[in-house]
Structure 1
Amino acid sequence: MEQTTQGALGRRRIGVPALVFMIIAASAPLTVVGGGVTSNYAVTGLLGIPLSFIVLGIVLLVFAIGYTAMSRHVHNAGAFYAYVAQGLGGGAGVGAAWVALIAYNALQIGVYGMFGFVLSSFLAGTFGLSIPWWVSALAGWVIVGLLGINKVDLSAKVLGIIVALEFLVVIVYDVVAIGAAPEGLTTGSIEPNSLFAAGVGAALVFSIAAFMGFESGAIYNEEVKDPQRTARRATLIAIVIISLFYAFSAWAMAVGEGDSQVIARSAEFGPDLMFVFLEGRVGQWFIVLGNLLFITSVLAALIAFHNVIARYLFAMGREGVLPRALAATNRAQAPVAGSLVQSALAFALIVIFAIAGAGHESGALFPVITLFTWLTNTGAFGLVLLMMLTSFSVIGFFKKREHTESAWVASIAPWLSGIALVALFILIIVNFGVLIGLEEAGLLSWLLPAIVVVPGVLAALWGHSLRRSKPEVYARIGAGAPID
């Protein structure tokens, strides 16, 4: 496959609809409704989970006001990295880049644990095949790797089909659930006192994971059809869709099970609750289709996060912050070097967890309670930290430059979102032990966040030192590529 050492990404390939699908794919709609919402009900014991998506949607829309305004001025495949560099300085940008790399890799590789589990479970239940989770995970790894080195619009088409089918399955579930309504069309789950009670912090932390990936719109700004508008529109549309759709589906679940039963039923059945509910209410073929789409939902998230990581590595290699070989692209104008590096890292960790899980007492659930739970929550922690830094970076960016943005866009909205994200970040730290399944805080609840923060701090110090040691590299940090 032909490569160039300093390539360029494919230009003018992605429109608003395709980018919206790519953003939503990272959040894996069927996985969120089937697994995330039920887990939130079960762990927090709060009825107000639907309202949590509305609250977070408002926070992220306020965040997106400044974030997407900045995207019109900064075109870089390493979005958070570039934004922090442009707003808070090159040193902070390099630190943010390492936080982003670790966080996105943790999210992406952690999802392999869920993919391996659900695919192996499906094959065992449907065909009687006993296949280790790591074999199934590696099958997904091959598909993700092949798409990662092809044209980005191929990934967009695949993700678009998967996401559309996911929405169809969840909508059918929502309609059936509302039709069942054993206690009537209740509104208890969307009343403020159902959310704002003891456990609200954990509920918000669980729900924020459903939005992970919404920020990736700006990462494709070098490849969209209109760099001034596409990413901004797609990001805002995606946040609104994610927030309203998940809130509606979580409410439908409460209605379908009954407000008085949804928490207990979620604790009893977990991610299977949706399909247990549908048994006897829809055709068996639809249950099978739903299970298949649950698998492809997880696969879509793997593809979306893989593409993001490959572009971060490309951006950092192009600017000399990482080896320039990482800026290699191929004939498809895909960031092939970054894609291969991410695939290699994912392969290594799948193998490590496969060895560690051999004969483990948790059996088939091992990849879910370790690889998936540990790494995805670590990744979410890192991305909230990045969003928090980016909010303040927007303020710094517009303060240093002449611009035509209003005070609301350039200052007030970023301040409000920054403060809200600081509060959410603190909630994640306080509740991290709960998120990874610990009954009480232990070494792991501090070690996993440290894996994100410590390299980021060290990288920031190193990045700051480049101002003197390599001023030509420092000057390029976060600069990106010109958009013609």
Structure 2
Amino acid sequence: MLTGSSEPTAGPDDISTYRGHDPGALRAGRIGTAGLLLSVLAATAPLMVVAGVMPTTYAVMGIVGQPLLYVILGVVMALFAVGYAEMSRHVHNAGAFYAYIARGLGGIAGSAASYVAFAAYSALQVGIFGIFGYEVSALCQQHLDAEVAWWVPALAAVLVTAVLGALKIDLNAKVLGVLLVIEALLVVVLDIAFASDPGPQGLSLLAFDPGTIAGAGLGTALCFTIAGFLGFEQAPVYAEETNKPRTVVRRVMFMALAIVAVFFALTSWLVGVAAGPDNIVGEAREESAGLIFSLIDPRLGGVFTDLLHVFFVTGIFASMLAFHNVVSRYAFAMGREGLLPRALGRASASTGAPAYGSLLQTVLAFLVVTAFAVTDDKPVGDPTAAVLNLFTWMGNLGALGVILLMAVTSVAIIAFFVRRGAAGAQGWRLVCSGLAAAGLATIFVYAVKDFDVLIDAGAGSALSWALPGLLLVAAAVGTVVGLALRSRSPETFAGIGQGNQAFRLERAADEEAAARAQDGARE
């Protein structure tokens, strides 16, 4: 039986990281607490959230209570993390979301979730190439007086990400760590500048008044700000590569969640303080993505503002790499379990990285960026294709998919422990998962309802249903794959969500079949 907080005992229902020396497996012990924390936080892209998401939320929602939104979301995510972290102690699989869902709700649900996860995280990663390309293009225009189409640096970033994605995860963690630390320090400097030189209303606490978000479309507003939290849920993806998966993953999740919630609530408040609660909405609508830079320039000067621009770009790149690593590991896990071609389920013998999964993600990113580049008929410097379309469409599609996965995973966690007779021991965790499922489902409904607002497509736009419909398509494909496996290959179907254990069982079955064939030949 699985019990409260004690270490799970070995049994047929337990999944543990395979620490053997199979050259096709991910390498255990490659990343510790610090490296995993930096990798996870890099995906949140602090400067991208501060300079992109926060001004957009102020402008579109027209409210000053954005800091309170981060507090509310922090509570919802903490409720989710309670069950999610406990699940990570019992199931170690690079497929995280879909593995948990398979273990709780069955192989068909797990197969459907795997395709939704792959589509959602791929969309998030590919979308970031758009804003990266646009920002690099803008820097070239500003400092080099050179016109560079956004897709040139975007495609270059695809190639660089491909190279790094195929290398050792500990090397990736170092790259991400350096970029993240610099990025975080710059935001801290920005916060100190805003706090020491506030706007006309001083250090007002009006933003934390619940009345500031009343009647403002709370659900839709939460959809805008939830992007800042995407990243902490990725920790279990690296469970097979950590040195102590049962403790490191859980520790990193809660550390990352606490840092993100406090960091963004504080910074969004100080951004409002810098402009003044009465002015922040108007300035955000006027300056758009330039809001942060326009607020910091008179306080710290042009040199710091230029530095902020540069590391805004490197922060975007760090986020791209972090999401690339996650997608490649989902592809690896799906290939290992027969949900995608088996070749994807083999790690590089030299680096231990999911090189084929990385290659698949690179090809997809190249094709999508190229498609947006070919259809871009706007002059250089126009953000329509790169930012308003590629980044906004793909980013919101990906976020919608992750919200859905979180909600379903919360239900799966409850089912997992109840079916194993551990409901009593895990009672308070299951209550938290139930509350998280309700909160996340509510946010998901609002996100679908107001998707046209999220992607700035206008009421009645076909995109408002076509883009979310892609998640249904992914789920349908995954369902068909699961049904086909259940019918044609019951052994493979039984391995969905099993990770390396399934890989070894599959290999053992092949060896047994070969032995039987040899015996038959001798007879």
Both structures adopt the same fold (TM-score exceeding 0.5): yes
Q: Which residue of 2 aligns with 1:442?
A: 461
Distance 1:408 1:59 in 2: 18
Question: Which has the bigger relative contact order, CA under 8 A and spacing at least 6?
Answer: 1
Distance 2:463 2:250 in 1: 38
Q: Which residue of 2 aligns with 1:427?
A: 446
Which of 220, 223, 246 does residue 264 from structure 2 map onto?
246
Q: Which residue of 2 aligns with 1:373?
A: 392
1:317 aligns with 2:339: no
Q: Which residue of 1 aligns with 2:413?
A: 394
Q: State the shift of 1:410 in Å.
A: 4.4
1:5/1:341 Cα in 2 relative to 1: closer, same or farther (>3 Å)?
Answer: farther
Which of 207, 211, 214 does residue 193 from structure 1 map onto?
211
On the 8 A contact 1:37/1:250 being kept in 2, the answer is yes
Amino acid at match of 2:114: A
Distance 1:50 1:158 in 2: 30
Which of 465, 477, 480 does residue 496 from structure 2 map onto?
477
Q: State the shift of 1:337 in Å.
A: 0.3
1:26 aligns with 2:67: no
Distance 1:137 1:462 in 2: 33
The secondary structure found in structure 2 opposite 1:279 is: helix
1:406 aligns with 2:413: no
On the 8 A contact 2:137/2:381 being kept in 1, the answer is no
Q: Which residue of 1 aligns with 2:227?
A: 209
On the 8 A contact 1:69/1:409 being kept in 2, the answer is no
Distance 1:269 1:276 in 2: 8
Which of 89, 99, 108 does residue 91 from structure 1 map onto?
108
Q: CA RMSD in A?
A: 1.8
The secondary structure found in structure 1 opposite 2:243 is: coil
Distance 2:417 2:279 in 1: 50
On the 8 A contact 2:339/2:481 being kept in 1, the answer is no
On the 8 A contact 1:113/1:372 being kept in 2, the answer is yes
Amino acid at match of 1:61: A
Q: Which residue of 1 aligns with 2:168?
A: 151
Structure 1 stretches of at least 4 aligned residues deviating more than 6 Å after TM superposition: none
Alpha-carbon displacement from aligned partner over 1:123-158 (angstroms, at most 9, x marks no partner) = 110111111100010121122111100000111111
On the 8 A contact 2:149/2:381 being kept in 1, the answer is no
On the 8 A contact 1:144/1:302 being kept in 2, the answer is yes
On the 8 A contact 2:149/2:380 being kept in 1, the answer is no
Q: State the shift of 1:407 in Å.
A: 3.5
On the 8 A contact 2:417/2:423 being kept in 1, the answer is no
Distance 1:50 1:138 in 2: 35
1:336 aligns with 2:351: no
- Alignment: residue pair count: 480
Distance 1:452 1:398 in 2: 28
Distance 1:406 1:240 in 2: 26
Which of 317, 326, 345 does residue 308 from structure 1 map onto?
326
Alpha-carbon displacement from aligned partner over 1:21-58 (angstroms, at most 9, x marks no partner) = 11111110001011100100000001110010110011
Distance 1:394 1:439 in 2: 38
On the 8 A contact 1:26/1:213 being kept in 2, the answer is yes
Which structure is larger by alpha-carbon Rg, 1 or 2? 2
On the 8 A contact 1:360/1:366 being kept in 2, the answer is no
On the 8 A contact 2:43/2:230 being kept in 1, the answer is yes
Alpha-carbon displacement from aligned partner over 1:41-80 (angstroms, at most 9, x marks no partner) = 0000011100101100110111011111011110100100
Amino acid at match of 1:233: R
Amino acid at match of 1:27: T
The secondary structure found in structure 1 opposite 2:299 is: coil
Structure 2 residues without counterparts, runs of 5 or longer:
1-20, 503-523
1:405/1:177 Cα in 2 relative to 1: closer, same or farther (>3 Å)?
Answer: farther
Q: State the shift of 1:403 in Å.
A: 4.4
On the 8 A contact 2:220/2:443 being kept in 1, the answer is no
State the TM-score, normalizing by the size of structure 2.
Answer: 0.89
Alpha-carbon displacement from aligned partner over 1:236-283 (angstroms, at most 9, x marks no partner) = 111111011000000001111100001111111112111111213214
Distance 1:474 1:191 in 2: 52
Distance 2:365 2:289 in 1: 25
Structure 1 window deviating more from structure 2 (75-84 vs 198-207): it is 198-207
Amino acid at match of 1:271: A
1:226 aligns with 2:247: no
On the 8 A contact 1:398/1:410 being kept in 2, the answer is no
Amino acid at match of 1:417: A
Q: Which residue of 2 aligns with 1:47?
A: 64
Q: Which residue of 1 aligns with 2:437?
A: 418
Which of 54, 62, 70 does residue 87 from structure 2 map onto?
70
Structure 1 residues without counterparts, runs of 5 or longer:
none
Q: Which residue of 2 aligns with 1:468?
A: 487
Distance 1:319 1:298 in 2: 32
